Amino acid sequence: MNTFKKVGLTALAGSLVVSSAVAGEMSVSGGASIGLKNTEKTSSGKSWTMGNQLTFTGSGELDNGMNVSLSFVLDQGDDETDTTTGAGNAPFDSHSVTVSSDSLGTLVFSGEGGSSAQSALDTTAAGDLWDNGSGFYATGSSPIAAEAGNNSMLYTFPSIVDDLTLKASYSPGSAGGSSATSWSASYAGVEGLSVDYGTGQVETIGSEADVTTMKASYAYSSFTLSYSNTEAEHDATSNTDEEISSWNIAYTVSDDLSIAYGTEVIETEGSSPDEEAEKLNVSYTTGGVTISATQYNFENRGNDSSESATTGDHSRWALSASFAF
């Protein structure tokens, strides 16, 4: 690790001025993955996948006792010549500044790749199966998460009740673009049980959408049962309303081996039949390597009950090995 002699930071929500940090340090972490996947439908085929990521983090304690940290993420796929949204601001995939203290809470400023109060709950119980499908949640993100990734502020309130976490966020959006505001509450005060609730609003010129997310998870012995539900209600001038519900059950066979089964259903107003997805996953960890095998089944993709090349019913299997350091 390297040592910072001094770190300066100006402005925390327009009122905080701090300087001269001591005992700062820098760390690097990362991971990589390789995989093989196959999609079985009219235009089926196998393909290799690869991902890698490096995270650089600098942190230190300020003279007034507050903590400040900086984070930059380098991710495969970023193109230094591409500065469009999501391209990573060449070449960083995400970057943020965090200021925190026990009495004042935690405030995160994200230039790109940030989270909203609600998007932290956005992963479905089954783990975003529609990342491998299509439809409303093809990216695994609700409208709130989609708009809150860049130029956002996320505030976590100081603890007022044991095991209760409250968050609020705001993303002003760009000129003529969408802005997003969201809130969330998470409670884990009952052994084995966690409950989360989030709500938010995305506003665009001439339209808006209200998004609500509820999640619950209960662990008993080697089993964990989870449920999630997210609804997006659009005004009359925008898109139709959407809802996604998801279940997941996981069984820990041993410290190294686990099995999980999950389902998701997407309902879109004015469209039928509903889009459905399920997965069965087996993961084994040995040393610093996790080997995973997953079978996916999709029905009515794109609200189409046929088996066309781009919509309808199909299945997919995936094998992967991931490493972390």
Domain ranges of the chain: 1-29+54-113, 114-324
Q: Which of 166-175, 295-304, 308-317 has the lowest mean pLDDT?
A: 308-317
Whether residue 304 contacts residue 42, with contact meaning beta carbons closer than 8 Å, is answered with no
Length of the chain: 325
Nearest residue to 54 via CA among 88, 81, 82, 5: 88
Beta strand pairing call for 207-220 and 223-234: antiparallel
* pTM tops 0.85: no
Q: Reply yes or no on whether the pLDDT at 17 is more than 70.
A: no
Query: What are the residue ranges of helices labelled H in the chain?
Result: 143-148
- Does residue 262 or residue 22 have the better pLDDT? 262
Whether residue 172 contacts residue 134, with contact meaning beta carbons closer than 8 Å, is answered with no
Q: Reply yes or no on whether the pLDDT at 206 is more than 80.
A: no
Q: Which of 86-90, 175-179, 278-282 has the lowest mean pLDDT?
A: 86-90
**Cα distances (Å, whole numbers) of residue 61 to 23, 98, 101, 156, 216:** 7, 12, 10, 19, 36
Which CATH code is given to the segment(s) 114-324? Answer: 2.40.160.10
**DSSP state, 6?**
-
At residue 247, the pLDDT reads 95
Q: Reply yes or no on whether the pLDDT at 44 is more than 60.
A: no
Q: Which two tokens stand for residue 205?
A: 């010129």
Distance CA 37, CA 320 (A): 8
> What digits encode the pLDDT tens for the residues 162-178?
999 999 998 886 555 67
Q: What is the average pLDDT across 91-108?
A: 86
Q: Reply yes or no on whether the pLDDT at 147 is more than 80.
A: no
Band (pLDDT 50/70/90 cuts) for residue 86 is very low
**DSSP state, 240?**
P
Q: Reply yes or no on whether the pLDDT at 186 is more than 90.
A: yes
At residue 76, the pLDDT reads 66
For 25-92, the DSSP string reads: EEEEEEEEEEEEEEEESTT-EEEEEEEEEEEEEEEEE-TTS-EEEEEEEEETT--TT--STTS-SSSE
